[in-house]
């Protein structure tokens, strides 16, 4: 519970510092809150718009792994590697 509170505080602080969180960051917040079904749905929506997004694929793999679907996780990890080779690095 303490970790979730810290994540919520950080998310609120980031929202006050400029534009709202990006779709990727919103999904990462869901992952950090251990809302794996919510994160899976969120990254699924992102991938419906851009199936070659390496960041969405990577995080979808994490959500699936946390949900126990290792086969799907591996598929998304492979897609992240494939599409990420030509992707611009957005954050470090």
pLDDT in tens, the chain (92 residues): 556 555 656 655 555 555 688 888 999 999 999 999 999 999 999 999 999 999 999 999 999 999 999 999 999 999 999 998 876 766 65
What's the pLDDT score for residue 59? Answer: 95
Which of 58, 4, 5 has its CA nearest to residue 34? 4
Supply the pLDDT for residue 17: 54
Residues in the chain: 92
**What pLDDT score was predicted for residue 13?**
57
23 CB burial (10 A radius; 0-12, 13-18, 19+): middle
Confidence (pTM): 0.73
Distance (Å, whole) CA 48 – CA 38: 15
């Amino acid at each position: 519970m303490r970790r979730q509170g810290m994540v919520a505080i950080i998310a609120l602080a980031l929202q006050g510092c400029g534009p709202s969180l990006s779709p990727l960051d919103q999904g990462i917040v869901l992952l950090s809150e251990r809302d794996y079904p919510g994160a899976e749905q969120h990254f699924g929506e992102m991938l419906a718009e851009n199936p070659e997004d390496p960041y969405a694929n990577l995080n979808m793999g994490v959500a699936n792994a946390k949900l126990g679907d290792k086969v799907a996780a591996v598929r998304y990890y492979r897609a992240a590697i494939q599409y990420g080779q030509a992707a611009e690095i957005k954050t470090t």
